Amino acid sequence: MGIQVENMAESSSKAYQSFKKHHGLWILLALGPVYFLFVVVRIYPILETIRLSFYRYHITQKNKPFIGLQNYRRLLEDDAFHTALVNTIQFTALAVVLTLVLALLIAILLRSIEHISGLFEIIFYIPVVTPWVPASVIWKWIYDPMYGLLNYSLSIFGIRRQGWLQDPKLIIYAVVIVAVWKMLGYYIIVFSVGLKNIPTTYLEAAEIDGATPWNRLWHIVFPLLRPIILFAVVMSTITFFNVFSPVYVLTASAQGAPAYDLKVVVSEIYRNAFQYYRMGYAGAQSVVLLVLVMTLIIIQFLVFREDEE
């Protein structure tokens, strides 16, 4: 019996040593399928897009000549792309600032009513789980120049009706409102989680020392929330810089009058790729978009790192 136990212990020890020796191999086998899918779904399309950007590739033509940087030179002279880029930057800046400022303010207010804050968080989160397309359709009817709820509400107070989706000066703000409404709940949850993780002892000690609410917010809450704020800024920048669905749905022909064609970078990529079938040129636009977003993210990381130092 003792010999049996000793043999079992020795076998277990050998098995453990074998596992420890090949630990990296087991991890690779376990994560291999995940990495493979990531490469196929994420990395390969990016590399293929970069490759296509150096070709004159029209989906209806057999020839696909290599043209080097001609697609990128063409972008420098493309007024439509310049307009789309300016609109995208303006939209992203407005949407990021409004979304994060409102989300942080609401999260702070909800912390003062913790007994019912969960109910309000659920209410604010409903638009987040609503797909972009049906949400945009709802807002399209709200903005309708003839029968829309917004114009009807304004008319009650004697304010004349506006062409929210027809006026070039108003449409970008109309789309920003939709984007903020859609994503606000997500960042309220993010900031609420961050606020709940701040030890109350810090705030209580500051209050005892005579710190005002603003001082507590500026010197305690904001510094402790810096990683959360960085995450929110980066994620919202990526989300809003790649905006497409609300722009596409809201600027489609509206009842009463056609909507103004608001150009953004992703809509220009879609138009060139799937309407004009200029895959090479659309690839170049996609690469520029990728570089711009990555540059913005790097700048944001550097700014937050300097603040920490």
For 86-104, the pLDDT digits (tens) are 999 999 999 999 999 999 9
| Pairwise pLDDT comparison (276 vs 219), residue with the higher score | 276
What rounded mean pLDDT belongs to the chain?
Answer: 85
Contact at 8 Å (CB) between 166 and 259?
yes
Least confident of 30-44, 80-94, 104-118, 228-242: 30-44
CA-to-CA separations, 184 to 16, 151, 234, in angstroms, rounded: 50, 24, 15
Predicted local distance difference test score (pLDDT) of residue 255: 45
DSSP assignment string, the chain: -HHHHHHHHHHHHHHHHHHHHTHHHHHHHHHHHHHHHHIIIIIHHHHHHHHHTTB--BTT-S---B-TTHHHHHHHH-HHHHHHHHHHHHHHHHHHHHHHHHHHHHHHHHHTTHHHHHHHHHHHHHHHHS-HHHHHHHHHHHT-TTT-HHHHHHHHTTPPP--TTT-TTTHHHHHHHHHHHHHHHHHHHHHHHHHHTS-HHHHHHHHHTT--HHHHIIIIIHHHTHHHHHHHHHHHHHHHHT--HHHHHHTSPPSSSPPP----HHHHHHHHHHTS-BHHHHHHHHHHHHHHHHHHHHHHHHHHHHHH-
Report the C-alpha gap between 228 and 216 in whole angstroms.
18
Residue 5 confidence (pLDDT) above 70: no
Q: Are residue 112 and residue 153 in the same domain, yes or no?
A: yes
Same domain (yes/no): 218, 269:
yes
Q: Are residues 171 and 107 in the same domain?
A: yes
One domain, residues 142 and 101: yes
Does residue 101 share a domain with residue 201? yes
Residue 59 lies in a domain: no
Residues above pLDDT 70, as percent of the chain: 88
How far is Cα 121 from Cα 96, in angstroms, rounded to an integer?
20
Q: Looking at the domain assignment, is residue 68 inside a domain? A: no
The token duo for 65 is 């000549």
In this prediction, residues 50-65 reach a mean pLDDT of 88
Task: Examine residue 19 and state whether it is found in any structural domain, yes or no.
Answer: yes
CA distances (Å), 62 to each of 57, 59, 65, 276, in order? 9, 8, 10, 16
Domain that holds residue 15: 2-52
- pLDDT class for 10, splitting at 50, 70, 90? low
Predicted local distance difference test score (pLDDT) of residue 260? 57
The CATH number for 158's domain is: 1.10.3720.10
pLDDT band at 292 (very low <50, low <70, confident <90, very high): very high
- pLDDT of the residue at 125: 95
Residue 287 is assigned to a structural domain of this protein: yes
User: Within a domain: residue 143?
Assistant: yes
69 occurs within a structural domain: no
Give the model confidence (pLDDT) of 160-169 as tens digits.
888 888 888 8
CA–CA dist 110, 118 (Å, integer): 9
Residue-wise pLDDT tens digits, 14-24: 555 555 666 66
Residue 12 has a pLDDT of 53
Enter the pTM of the model: 0.82
Among the ranges given (51-60, 256-265, 268-277), the one the predictor scored with the smallest mean pLDDT: 256-265
Quote the number of domains for the chain: 2
Distance CA 163, CA 84 (A): 21
pLDDT of residue 289: 93
Instruction: Please indicate whether residue 150 or residue 18 has the higher confidence score (pLDDT).
Output: 150
Residues 6 or more apart whose CB falls under 8 angstroms from that of 272 comprise: 278, 281, 282, 285
Question: Is residue 38 located within the same domain as residue 163?
Answer: no
pLDDT band at 82 (very low <50, low <70, confident <90, very high): very high
Q: Is 26 part of any domain?
A: yes
pLDDT in tens, 109-140: 998 887 888 888 999 999 999 999 999 999 99
Domain co-membership, 30 together with 129: no
- Within a domain: 61: no
| Residue bearing tokens 């940087």 | 69
Rounded Cα–Cα distance for residues 109 and 122 (Å) = 15
Query: What percent of the chain has a predicted confidence (pLDDT) above 90?
Result: 45
Specify whether 182 is located in the same domain as 246: yes
User: Do 90 and 185 fall into the same domain?
Assistant: yes
More confident residue, 218 or 81: 81
Same domain for 108 and 253? Answer: yes
144 and 30 in a common domain? no
Domain match, 136 and 241 both: yes
Q: What's the rounded mean pLDDT across residues 220-227?
A: 85
